[in-house]
Amino acid sequence: MIIYIIRRLLYTIPIVFGVLLLTFVLFTLVGGDISIEIAGKGASAATINEIRQEYGLNKPLFLSWDSQFVNHFKSALTFDFGRARDREPVIDKIKRGAGPSLALMVPIFVGTIIISVSLALIIAFLRGTVWDSLTVIICVAGMSIPYLSFILFGQYFLAYKWGLSPVFFSPDLSMAQYTALPILIGIVTGLGGEVRFYRTVMLDEMRSDYVRTAFAKGLSTRRVLFKHVLKNAMIPIITRVVLAIPFLFLGSLLLERFFGIPGLGYLMIEAIGSRDYFVINAMTYISAILFVIFNVITDICYAWVDPRVSFD
């Protein structure tokens, strides 16, 4: 197993290199020169040149030990992402944004999984009934409605009209107060797709011979569902759940923006808008690393839940 993990971790090297190369090409070669924008209005060529020097944009792109790409690579490997365009160290920005993003995304993630898996089990159990059909209709409707509509609707009715929650962040509110509504919206918007997916997974299992055998042996419904069906449905659940974890780090752009939560989703989009290459580079790199790590964890989990999977 250790050899397997080492081998998988070695695979990450070309992946990370590819990510770094891609971000570099996209923002350096395609994105254009940021120095003119930083220089301000009517800046002279000398000022623009000085900015290029400060940000290392006057160095060769590839073919040198001190090239822009090598420096980009070095900063990623040492986790020294430098300072953002507003002169704040990039790592400080990420540390500050990670808390609010996770405070929002972890409850949404956990809540969505618990509710969707439970509902899927129940619906799979009630398949063919009116409850099953109703749930499928609601799920499809939920998936069809744009995410933004849930936010606008929730904010207008639950917060503004009915006063059940604050409309927006305020310094005198606790985190629980200003994140409660976005968490609820995040969970509700995610349920449609998740419930449908898990229902399909559960239904596949419910049709299996071992389920009929279990019922024939006289096992209780609860035992069949939770002990047998759920355990056998774990492979697709793990794939979906574990691989979703790295994206929690990226936060939710729309929820953060509409509810004033200063998380990483907001940070990333702003960085793209203002071409803050240093922030984009750091966020992309960290996301890529997390994704690769969680991919390995997913594989390990497969073996843990399914004895048929081996590392050979």
Q: Which amino acid is at 276?
A: D
Which range, of 17-25, 84-92, 281-289, 302-310, touches other proteins by CB under 8 A? 84-92
The yes or no reply on residue 144 touching other proteins (CB under 8 A) is no
User: Of 64, 221, 226, 227, which one interacts with other proteins (CB under 8 A)?
Assistant: 221
Nearer to other proteins, 14 or 42 (CB): 42
Q: Does position 174 bind other proteins by CB under 8 A?
A: yes
Q: Does 204 bind other proteins (CB under 8 A)?
A: no
Radius of gyration, CA atoms only, the chain = 24
Concatenated DSSP letters for 1-51? Answer: -HHHHHHHHHHHHHHHHHHHHHHHIIIIIIS--SHHHHH-TT--HHHHHHH
Q: In the complex with other proteins, which residue's Cβ is closer, 152 or 289? A: 152
- Give me the least distance between CB of 177 and other proteins, in Å please: 5
Q: Does 273 bind other proteins (CB under 8 A)?
A: yes
When binding is defined by CB under 8 A, the residue of 171, 307, 308, 312 that contacts other proteins is 171
Among 90, 94, 180, 301, binds other proteins (CB under 8 A): 180
Do 279 and 93 form a contact (C-beta atoms < 8 A)? yes
Q: From the list 7, 74, 95, 207, which residue makes contact with other proteins (rule: CB under 8 A)?
A: 207
Residue 229 DSSP symbol: I
What's the rounded Cα separation, in Å, for the pair 171 and 79? 32
In what helix (H) or strand (E) does residue 61 lie, and over which residues does it extend?
Answer: none
Name the minimum Å distance from CB 295 to other proteins. Answer: 31
Does 90 help bind other proteins (rule: CB under 8 A)?
Answer: no
Q: Which of 165, 175, 41, 172 is nearest to 101 (CA)?
A: 175
Binders of other proteins among 44-83, rule CB under 8 A? Answer: 44-48, 50-51, 54, 83
* Residue 22: alpha-carbon gap to chain centroid: 20
The DSSP string of 119-139 is HHHHHHHTTTSHHHHHHHHHH
Q: Which of residues 28-47 bind other proteins (CB under 8 A)?
A: 31-34, 36-47
Q: Which is nearer to other proteins, 255 or 292 (CB)?
A: 255
Restricting to residues 108-127, name those near other proteins by CB under 8 A.
111, 114-115, 118-119, 122, 125-127
Give the Cα separation of 305 and 51 in Å (integer): 55
Q: Which two tokens stand for residue 264?
A: 């990483």
How many other C-beta atoms lie within 10 A of the C-beta of residue 225?
21
Between residues 31 and 146, which has the closer beta carbon with respect to other proteins? 31
